[in-house]
Structure 1
Amino acid sequence: MSKLRVASILFLLSTFFLKFSSMLRDIAIAHLFGDSYVVDAYIAAMTIPNAIILFMLTGMKDAFLPSYYKYEKLGKGFSHLTNVVKGTFWISSVIAVCGAVLSPLLIRWLYPSFTGHGAEIAVWTAVIYFLSVALVGVNAVYEGYFDSQKKFSFSTFSQTIVVLCTIGGAILLYRQMGIYSVPFGYFVGTVLSFIIKLVYLRPRRFLMWSQPADWREILSFYKVFLPIGLTIAVGQINLFIDTLFSARLGEGVVSNLNYAFRLVNIPQAIFGVTIATLVFPLLAEAKVKEDMQLFRTGIEKGLNYMFLLLAPTIAGMIVLMRELVQVVYERGAFTAAATAQTSEYAIFFTGSVLFYSIQAVIAKGFYTLEKGHYILRAGVVSIIANAIFNAILSNVIGAVGLALSTSLVGFVYSAITFTTLYKLAGGFSLSVIGKEYAKITISTLVMCAVLLFVKHGLHADHLSVVPYLVIMIILGAAIYFLAAWLFRVESFKEIVAKGRIKQVSDS
């Protein structure tokens, strides 16, 4: 097997693992600690520094790559890398120290319901994650640098190290350290990831150690980075707001809402990101050719393919939610009562999966047209809407209101961005999209009707949970695609046609 093929396989495996890293971490936590108050305290506390961590990790690449290429053309790429690394280290270090010192005050102010041991867990969790920020920013810069050098596998591998250490810390040290084993594992992973980069590049190629930091250049970079990072951090800010409200609703609410959210977001991680990524080159081609018709076609196809795959997946999850939660989480300290509560929350979260996946396609349109500031404006509106919906719904219907709020905010966010892009692009073919969505919805309803009949009419749910899920998933997929073929769903026909063309070309 060639080195290129091995590298490609490693890259795909590590990327797949990263997509589900939060899910795997939470499965380990659920098994070891269930939905106890210690998990509530951990999740609530880590959400604060985690917003900063994701802000650095996800925004840095989008900002650093074009900036590095610009300086590289001038023969100053390594000098620019040095400036950004040094500037980021000092900025991250200040945030880390201030965050760690202020953690006791933040926890007391943000989560007044945490007392005694719970408050202690929250404080030290926040402290450990804040201290990690000092190196998270530097790691993010170098992962962007590796991507600029087409070393995607190494960039992904360095992130995977952090995930493995987090999960490993929880599994290996939980008896000695309790819930602290999770943030400790993350901290160790962050340090180890940094050391691996240093050893891989060697100190001489790591940066220009003697070069003084050019703060004018650093600040110029951060003017570009901040709006990109803030746009990407909108989701994490909304999650933080959700945690603030859920922490006031009793033991187990924070943890079970988190478990539910991670589970239902699997389809978004698979289909949402994938379809949006596949559509991006078509949109970029349209931009280069200044062909707005091709641009509109790309958005329309992206939205249609997205709904084709997500509609049956979300509907199937709703029908099978309790069994899915049971298979994924119910073991060790995670009880049947936790399964029931998590399942209820998860159903109300499902709307967010659809709306945020649709928004992922729309966002590519804004980035292609270089109108990313519209996304930031919509994100600010979504944050305000989330706080309002949370305040109202949590008082009216309790914890499920927070999950419902996330879905409603997703609808608001996607509606604002879609209507804005509609105007910028000169309109889309709404009749075509509407007709396609109607056919897909009917096909999905047919699938659900059959599954519900098999579940309740034929009492298939009396089977053991794993065989039951396997049978229902296979049956659901078969019924849905048969219905899509009978109702002549265009996006489904296109996928089948492309598959046939590929088979002919391969033979």
Structure 2
Amino acid sequence: MGKLRVASILFLLSTFFLKFSSMIREMVISRLFGASYEADVYFAAMTIPNAIVLFMLTGMKDAFLPSYYKYDRLGQGFSHLTNIVKGTFWISLGVSIIGAAISPFLVQTVYPEFGKYEHGFEIAAWTAALYFFSIALVGVNAVYEGYFDSQKKFSFSTFSQTVVVLCTIGSALLFHKILGVYSLPIGYLVGTFVSFIIKLVYLKPSKFLNWKQKMDISEIRQFYHIFWPVGLTIAVGQINLMVNMFFAARLGEGVVSHLNYAFRLVNIPQAIFGVTIATIIYPILASAQSDQNRDMFKRGIEKGLIYMFAFLAPTVVGMTILMKPLVQTFYEGGAFTAEATAATSQYAVFYLGSVLFYSIQAVIAKGFYTLEKGHYMMRIGMISIVVNIFSNWILSYLMGPVGLALSASIVGMIYSLITFTTLYRISGGFSLMSIGKEYSKSIIASMAMAAILVWVGSLGLIMEMHHILYLIIMIGIGAVIYFLALFLLRSEPLKEILARSGKVKSS
């Protein structure tokens, strides 16, 4: 447990750095391009290949981990790694070439509105094509990131993703005057290649894969039989985001950008807490399933849900209260105006429900993948896409852009409810009493925090402060109130954290 705890801490820190760098990327884009039509076209066009990127990147990791464990116990781990890497490269290369070739036709079909902008179709086509080109190595990178996770090297896996983000930032800062918005997809493509080279150097060519080994087509086919539903499930969120962009592009210039900036901002806690906790519990679940320890599997899911909610609940409540100064701090400046801040803040509040529900779903999904029941998630995901299309259509008509953000939260709620009840049924059930008890404590503590923050925020001295100083004070007060309330309510996650901290200090 000691090694896993250290690996978990390193992973949490590396995830913070990844999301921090991702947020810097969004800040750079907002200040350089604001909510212009170029930004709209870029954000909308990149969602198409990015659905496949997430399909390969996250889906591959989730499918590879239990598969690798199974073969490694038979002494065939390296052979299995080699087979999946080689098979994935050829599949990814084919997708890359085809996707890049059809990009001009694809963007004109999906986003016909971009034709009214000067160079609109051109920017969209090249953005999509460059992201498609990157897929040739994205798949291979994803396999190795899954391999690093299997070795409890979570932080290295996250570091390799951070490299891609940093290259995108660097390209935008250095070449935006020469290349304009094209500097963003070019930077991503370069970053994907650099991430691959780092893995090759780190493992060394001899340990990277067995170069002489012939591909075992039957083994690759068996793996992809498990992978497809997992990957499609992971891509559901991006497909739903693409649906949002499809409707947003029809609502005028700047709407796509405002919605994207809002989504990226509220997605930070989901990636830090929801995805991090889900990733950490995944090896525990996979190990429990391999040992046929059903009790450990159930406890892993329960703890994942409880810990996730304990961190997410106050974050969502706090962001609701502090959204405008958060948007000001992260985005406002350069090409991003005060009007853009107002619109982005409004949309972000309606997106917050999706943060909570998709974080719950991230933990639940690990249970399905561990049980090799990814096809359940795929079916539910397909239902959510249909629901999202109708929800976007109705709510955007009734409420405008705000309706698109609200739709994401509603669909997330439906998605998480169906997946939880399904996993509950096929796994034999969880302790709803313990989950509900701890959720109640987190909700009560969050409400106490909210009441204090609203009162403090109404004080004249606080209201007149610069928004950054205002945020620092309010976040500090909120954290103290929340954890004090959890302590008084005897929250199990907090007790365990304090107990482990005491053990570390005493040792």
TM-score, structure 2 as length reference: 0.88
Query: What secondary structure sits across from 1:374 in the alignment?
Result: helix
| CA–CA separation in structure 1 for the residues paired with 2:433 and 2:68 | 43
Q: Which amino acid aligns with 2:451?
A: A
- Post-superposition Cα deviations, 1:158-215, rounded to whole Å, max 9, x if no partner, equal 3333222111101110011000001111112222333444455565665555655444
Say whether the 8 Å CA contact 1:71–1:80 is kept in structure 2.
yes
Q: CA deviation at 1:73?
A: 6.3
Say whether the 8 Å CA contact 2:354–2:413 is kept in structure 1.
yes
Q: Which residue of 1 aligns with 2:305?
A: 303
Distance 1:77 1:131, change over 3 A: same
> Given the alignment of the two structures, is residue 32 of structure 1 paired with residue 21 of structure 2, yes or no?
no
Q: Which residue of 2 aligns with 1:444?
A: 446
Q: Which amino acid aligns with 2:100?
A: A
- Post-superposition Cα deviations, 1:378-424, rounded to whole Å, max 9, x if no partner, equal 22221111111111101110111111011001110111112223323
Q: Which residue of 2 aligns with 1:3?
A: none
Say whether the 8 Å CA contact 2:351–2:406 is kept in structure 1.
yes
Distance 1:79 1:365, change over 3 A: closer
Q: More displaced, 220-229 or 114-123?
A: 220-229
Q: Which residue of 1 aligns with 2:112?
A: 112
Say whether the 8 Å CA contact 2:66–2:286 is kept in structure 1.
no
**Following superposition of structure 1 onto structure 2, how do residues 417-496 of structure 1 map, counting pairs within 5 Å?**
417-458=419-460, 460-486=462-488, 488-491=489-492, 494-495=495-496
- Post-superposition Cα deviations, 1:272-310, rounded to whole Å, max 9, x if no partner, equal 123334555665676577665665454444333333222
Q: Gaps spanning 5+ residues in structure 1: where?
A: 1-5
Q: Which residue of 1 aligns with 2:45?
A: 45
| CA–CA separation in structure 1 for the residues paired with 2:437 and 2:78 | 53
| CA–CA separation in structure 2 for the residues paired with 1:257 and 1:318 | 16
Query: What secondary structure sits across from 1:463 in the alignment?
Result: coil
Q: More displaced, 401-410 or 93-102?
A: 93-102
- Post-superposition Cα deviations, 1:139-174, rounded to whole Å, max 9, x if no partner, equal 333444455566655544433332221111011100
Q: Which amino acid aligns with 2:221?
A: L
Q: Which residue of 2 aligns with 1:502?
A: 503
Q: Which amino acid aligns with 2:26?
A: D
> Given the alignment of the two structures, is residue 124 of structure 1 paired with residue 126 of structure 2, yes or no?
yes
Q: Which residue of 1 aligns with 2:359?
A: 357
Say whether the 8 Å CA contact 2:8–2:280 is kept in structure 1.
no
> Given the alignment of the two structures, is residue 261 of structure 1 paired with residue 263 of structure 2, yes or no?
yes
Say whether the 8 Å CA contact 1:484–1:492 is kept in structure 2.
no
| CA–CA separation in structure 2 for the residues paired with 1:213 and 1:35 | 48
Say whether the 8 Å CA contact 2:15–2:276 is kept in structure 1.
no
Q: Which amino acid aligns with 2:357?
A: F
- Post-superposition Cα deviations, 1:209-229, rounded to whole Å, max 9, x if no partner, equal 565544444333322221221
Q: CA deviation at 1:49?
A: 0.8
Aligned CA RMSD, in angstroms, stands at 3.1
Say whether the 8 Å CA contact 1:485–1:492 is kept in structure 2.
no
Identity %: 64
Q: Which amino acid aligns with 2:309?
A: F
> Given the alignment of the two structures, is residue 219 of structure 1 paired with residue 206 of structure 2, yes or no?
no
Q: CA deviation at 1:17?
A: 2.6
**Following superposition of structure 1 onto structure 2, how do residues 143-158 of structure 1 map, counting pairs within 5 Å?**
143-146=145-148, 154-158=156-160
- Rg larger in structure: 1
Which residue of 318, 323, 343 corresponds with 1:321?
Answer: 323
- Post-superposition Cα deviations, 1:7-45, rounded to whole Å, max 9, x if no partner, equal 999876544333444323211111111111101100111
Say whether the 8 Å CA contact 2:12–2:276 is kept in structure 1.
no
Q: Which residue of 1 aligns with 2:59?
A: 59
Q: Which amino acid aligns with 1:494?
A: K
- Post-superposition Cα deviations, 1:442-490, rounded to whole Å, max 9, x if no partner, equal 332222222212222445221111111111111122222333344x253
| CA–CA separation in structure 2 for the residues paired with 1:476 and 1:384 | 39
| CA–CA separation in structure 2 for the residues paired with 1:125 and 1:221 | 31
Q: CA deviation at 1:316?
A: 1.0
Distance 1:501 1:374, change over 3 A: same
Q: Which amino acid aligns with 1:106?
A: L
Q: Which amino acid aligns with 1:18?
A: L
Which residue of 131, 141, 156 corresponds with 1:139?
Answer: 141
- Post-superposition Cα deviations, 1:77-122, rounded to whole Å, max 9, x if no partner, equal 5554444333323222221121111111111100010023222111
Distance 1:7 1:248, change over 3 A: same
Q: CA deviation at 1:321?
A: 0.4
Q: Which amino acid aligns with 2:57?
A: L
| CA–CA separation in structure 2 for the residues paired with 1:265 and 1:248 | 24
Q: CA deviation at 1:252?
A: 1.0
Q: CA deviation at 1:366?
A: 3.0
- Post-superposition Cα deviations, 1:237-263, rounded to whole Å, max 9, x if no partner, equal 111111111111111111111111111
Q: More displaced, 372-381 or 204-213?
A: 204-213
Distance 1:204 1:501, change over 3 A: closer
TM-score, structure 1 as length reference: 0.88
Q: How many residues align?
A: 501
Q: Which residue of 2 aligns with 1:193?
A: 195
Q: Which amino acid aligns with 1:85?
A: V
| CA–CA separation in structure 2 for the residues paired with 1:267 and 1:101 | 37
Q: Which residue of 2 aligns with 1:236?
A: 238
Q: More displaced, 265-274 or 103-112?
A: 265-274
Q: Which residue of 1 aligns with 2:177?
A: 175
Which residue of 413, 416, 423 corresponds with 2:415?
Answer: 413
Q: Which residue of 1 aligns with 2:93?
A: 93
> Given the alignment of the two structures, is residue 396 of structure 1 paired with residue 398 of structure 2, yes or no?
yes
- Post-superposition Cα deviations, 1:125-144, rounded to whole Å, max 9, x if no partner, equal 11111112122223333444
Say whether the 8 Å CA contact 1:166–1:185 is kept in structure 2.
yes
| CA–CA separation in structure 2 for the residues paired with 1:245 and 1:320 | 28
Q: More displaced, 375-384 or 84-93?
A: 84-93
Query: What secondary structure sits across from 1:324 in the alignment?
Result: helix
- Post-superposition Cα deviations, 1:416-444, rounded to whole Å, max 9, x if no partner, equal 11222332344444455444434433332
Q: Gaps spanning 5+ residues in structure 2: where?
A: 1-5
> Given the alignment of the two structures, is residue 377 of structure 1 paired with residue 388 of structure 2, yes or no?
no
Say whether the 8 Å CA contact 1:316–1:448 is kept in structure 2.
yes
Distance 1:440 1:133, change over 3 A: closer
Distance 1:482 1:72, change over 3 A: closer
Say whether the 8 Å CA contact 1:440–1:489 is kept in structure 2.
no
Q: More displaced, 178-187 or 150-159?
A: 150-159
